Structure formats: C-alpha cells, structure tokens
Amino acid sequence: MSVFRVKLNNTAQGRLDIDPTTGAPMTTSIQRTIYVAGPKRTHRKLADGETFTDSNYWKRFAYPQVSLADAFIEVVTDDGSVYSDVDSENTFPVVYDLTLVHGTTYTAEENIADILTDHGASANFVQITNQGNTACKVKLNGSASAIFDLAGGDTQVFNNGDLQITKLEFANTTSGGAEVTVQVIASVKSVSNS
C-alpha cells in the first residue's frame, strides 16, 4: 500500500482559497473537499491536506501521470505495486530472504514474513525454499495446527487456489546448531481500501 496526500491547492487551483489576512493563497484549504471515483465504482471523499493509504490506483491523479496544474494527489510513499483496471493484473512479486539463527522460534522478529501487514493483502502464490542443509519448521497464518517441517534443500509451493497465506513464521530448533537461510517468493494481489 502506498501513502498519498490530497493537494487541492496546487498552482492555479490554489488561488481559489485566499488568506484574508495576507491576500496570498492558503497552503491548506479549510473549505475544500471533493468526491473522487475510486476503484470498482466506489467514491472517496478527499479533504485538502489529508493523507491516506491505498492502492496505486490513486497515482493516476498525481504528477507526472497528469499535468502539474491538474494533479490533486501527491505520492508520499510508493510501494512499487501495480494497479490495473483489469482485476487479474493487480499482482506483484514479494521476496523475503530470512536467516534463521539456531535456537530461534516463531516469535523472533527476523523469522517472520508478515505478508498481510507488510503489503496489505494476502499472497495467492507462495514458494518457500530452505537454502540450508538443516531442516526448519514453518507455521502458516499463525496457526499452531498448521506447522510443517521443511528439510534442507527442499521447496514447498502453494499455488493459486490452494491457500491464501497472510503470514509465515519459522523456527530453527533442530539439532546441529547451523543457521538456516530461507527464501520466500510470493505473489500478492493489490487490494484497494476504497
């Protein structure tokens, strides 16, 4: 998810709200809001100066996609995801490279790939590869009843339609004392908040 700021006061548009004390354009409009068509025929009320987090659908109203004079959205942070009006095209790749120190469990922050929190949506395809020689344990979606062993050098794949994965947690508690390197490759569908 990207972060956007509403900028209704920009260039010529900013001359609509004049500060009565100085006669200059105001930096933030106190009287302006607009309704804008969002994805899937929704509407969002935007107030000048507010920030919001949503899909990159909103980049179509930002410079340089539109001229500076017509832009009323500013991109604050861009997650790099793609937004298309064709719903099936709204996926982007995510990669996690994790190093599991021996003796660490699921609760160690460096052992967690939290796809939902990091990207605002679940993964519809996941490939987990244990690049080490030692087995590790994998917990799916935070469920204590969904834990499996992933042997060294093995790969586990969850294809589209198998399972929506929101979070992967790893533990390296096997004997041997070696670090385990795990790579997670996921395909995440961009979902709009509006």
Pairwise CA distance, residues 4 & 83, whole Å? 15
pLDDT number for residue 115: 94
Which domains does the chain carry? Answer: 2-77 (no CATH), 88-189 (2.60.120.10)
Going by their DSSP bridges, the two strands 43-47 and 33-37 should be labelled as antiparallel
* 65 neighbors 3 (Cβ within 8 angstroms): no
* 149 neighbors 169 (Cβ within 8 angstroms): no
* Position 48 pLDDT exceeds 90: no
Q: What angle do CA 49, 51, 56 make, to 5 degrees?
A: 125
Cis preceding-peptide flag for 39 (omega within 30 of 0): no
Share of the chain above pLDDT 70, in %: 89
Average pLDDT of 38-67? Answer: 88
Q: Between residues 29 and 58, which one has the greater pLDDT? A: 58
At residue 174 the predicted structure's pLDDT band, cuts being 50, 70 and 90, is: confident
* 188 neighbors 106 (Cβ within 8 angstroms): no
Q: What are phi and psi of 142, to 5 degrees?
A: 70, 10
pLDDT number for residue 184: 97
pLDDT number for residue 90: 80
